[in-house]
Amino acid sequence: MPVIIKTPDEIQKMRVAGKLAADVLDMIGEHVRPGVSTDELDRICHDYIVNEQQAVPAPLNYRGFPKSICTSVNHQVCHGIPGSKVLKDGDIVNIDVTVIKDGFHGDTSKMFTVGKPSILAQRLIDVTHKALWTGIELVRPGCRLGDIGHAIQTFVEAQGYSVVQEYCGHGIGRGFHEDPQVLHYGTPDTGISLQAGMTFTIEPMVNAGRRNVKLLPDGWTVVTKDRKLSAQWEHTILVTDTGFDVLTLRRDEQPAQFG
Ligand code: MF3
Ligand code: CO
Ligand code: CO
């Protein structure tokens, strides 16, 4: 399928959806603390999206996914299903929020620490965040997807960590997962060339140990094979005439701090 170039009107709707998704992550932060269950986090996000934002939580019933957000704890890589698991001091958790507003999707995720994280956990989180922004800052018309994947992979591996290859970023718009696939590894000067009006996610999953993952019998939860920690951050990005816009920027984030 071709990559859909969004019109100015569609881009405006993507901005609204992206802002709402970011707002959910800003809202949930104070609730992520020892003793809370991932089900409670799901319920709070669901009610906020539906009642406050008058939007739709995209994961709910997506290909049979049973909840409104993904919560991936410690060695869980992505697509963790909220449940009775209670967060404890030292845990790390990725919360992945996707909302649909006025027919368009905004998709973003963030790492949270519960109580006091280990030095390793904090470093993994920081490296993964920097990997995301290493990719984002390359985005402009003419940049090729292989350049982005290569930059992310090179950065992560230089830190002694590994990039998960089975899951990737994706085009996004009226569809949750549109073309192109945005790999977080790759070869420079390969892949499609970016054009203004494209919207896609970058969402690297970085493992403290080996890159290998396995799918749990629930059909959704992806975990590291070696049971070492994994981290992920995600933004929805617009290609502009001169570079990029991050459509899911949060309160706690300013691009200047990464420049
Ligand atoms: N939000 C995830 C992504 O970044 C997709 C979750 S699909 C679900 O693409 F069904 F698990 F919610
Ligand atoms: Co995504
Ligand atoms: Co997501």
pLDDT category of residue 255 using cuts at 50, 70 and 90? low
pLDDT digits 0-9 by tens, 37-81: 999 999 999 999 999 999 999 999 999 999 999 999 999 999 999
Residues with CB under 5 A from ligand 3 (ion): 96, 107, 234
Residue 42 near ligand 1, beta carbon < 6 Å: no
Strands annotated E in the chain: 56-57, 70-73, 76-78, 92-101, 104-113, 162-163, 169-171, 178-182, 199-202, 205-207, 213-215, 222-224, 230-232, 235-239, 244-246
For ligand 1, whether the C-beta of 203 sits within 6 Å is: yes
Taking the CA of residue 203 as reference, the ligand 1 atom at the shortest distance is 4
Average pLDDT over residues 221-239: 99
Residue 5 Cα to ligand 1 midpoint, Å, equals 22
CA of 236 to the centre of ligand 3 (A): 9
CA of 190 to the centre of ligand 3 (A): 25
The model's pLDDT over 91-143, given as tens digits with 9 standing for 90+, comes to 999 999 999 999 999 999 999 999 999 999 999 999 999 999 999 999 999 99
* Model confidence at 258: pLDDT above 80: no
232 ligand 1 Cβ < 6 A: no
Q: How far is the CA of 93 from the centre of ligand 1 (A)?
A: 15
Residues 165-174 have pLDDT tens digits of 999 999 999 9
Q: Is the pLDDT assigned to residue 257 strictly greater than 60? A: no
Of all residues in the chain, what percent carry a pLDDT higher than 70? 98
pLDDT at position 259 is 46
Q: What's the average model confidence in pLDDT over 239-249?
A: 98
The dihedral through the CA atoms of 31, 95, 199, 175 has a sign that is: negative
| Residue 183, both tokens | 């790999």
